[in-house]
Each structure stands twice: as C-alpha cells, then as structure tokens.
Amino acid sequence: MGLIVGLEEKLPSGFLLTTVEKLAGYMRKNSLWPATFGLACCAIEMMAAGAGRYDLARFGMEVFRASPRQADLMIVAGRVSNKMAPVVRQIYDQMAAPKWTIAMGACASSGGMFNNYAIVQGVDHIIPVDIYLPGCPPRPEMLMDAILKLHEQIGNEKLGPNREKIIKDVEAAALAAKPTHQLKGLLA
Ligand code: SF4
C-alpha cells in the first residue's frame, strides 16, 4: 500500500491507472480507521455503534485511533461550537491523507436547531465533508449505513488524470448552473 500512495497520481490514464484505482480503492475502503473524538450527544450513538450490541467491528471499523496521525476517517459527531472549530480543523489537518469525513447528525451537517452565533452552521464551513448523515441523533444503524456508503464511494474513487477530468466537469457544470438569485421556488 505504501508503494502505491503518491505513485498512482503520476500514472497516465488508461488500463494501468484503472487497475491501480480499483486496487487502491479496495485497500483504502477496507482499512478505514476513525479518529477518536466526539463533540456532543451524537457521540453517544457513535459509541453505541462501536459497542457489543451493534458491533462495528464486523466491518473492520472498530479501530478508533487515539492519534489523528493514525486515522483517516473523521466522524464529526455533534454540534461544532466556534470555540471548537479550530481544534476540529487542527485534528483534520493532522490526519493522514487520503482522508474522509462524515458529518454525523443535523448539528454537524447544518447547525441543526442551534441557529445562533455560538455554533458553526455546518462543519463543511471548516473541513470538506464526504457524507452528510441526517437525524437528531442518527441511530447507530444509520451511522453504519453511512460508513458502508462511504466504503462504496472510496472504492469508486478516481485518481490522477481521471480525477482531474471529473473535477473539471463538475466545475463546468457549476459554472453553467442557474445563479441562486434567479431560482424560483420556496424563496421566490
Ligand atoms: S443532532 Fe441532535 S443528538 Fe446530534 S448533536 Fe445535535 S442535538 Fe445532539
């Protein structure tokens, strides 16, 4: 795995890159290690997911790491206060790349019911998010489902020139989209 990290970005597109993509995706999705930290009530459900009744270990996911340097999955479990935001960002920065994030619950995803000056209105204001998990709190089964969906996403992740092409296409689609001030609907 160590040999593959970094090298795959330099491969030209074609059969070899596709094969490496599949191999890297398979290994990455099956070796996710979450960082150990929780912010609020959602963290209780996250802990329950790791305990005997729900047994996250069935998916090889039980290795919550105490050091962010050994983790590649951040589960933001709970509301993020403005005071905690720099800490969350620092932990994210210290994690090994490639890394992924799940915003667990309404608060982490959007601020939830805490529409006030003390709470960050969605953790995607400070770190990139791969999966938004709704609910207040989401049940352990929902967290496990989110992790399995993330596995799927990681397994299909593109690398090198293939990824650059996807980024360009997404950017072009965003630029071609109708500006939000012209949208009609609930806000009109
Ligand atoms: S989504 Fe609900 S359970 Fe989760 S942190 Fe917010 S208030 Fe607590």
Q: Is the CB of 105 under 6 A from ligand 1?
A: yes
Confidence of residue 164 (pLDDT cuts 50, 70, 90): confident
- How far is it, in rounded angstroms, from Cα 72 to Cα 97? 7
SS3 of residue 103 by DSSP:
strand
Burial 61-77 (b: 16+ CB within 10 A, else e): beebbeebeebbbbbbb
Write out pLDDT tens, residues 10-43. 667 777 777 888 888 888 888 889 998 889 999 9
Of 80, 107, 110, the one to substitute when testing ligand 1's pocket (max ligand atoms within 8 A of C-beta) is: 107
pLDDT tens digits along 64-110: 888 999 999 999 999 999 999 999 999 999 998 889 999 999 999 99
In eight-state DSSP terms, residue 35 is: B
pTM for the whole structure? 0.84
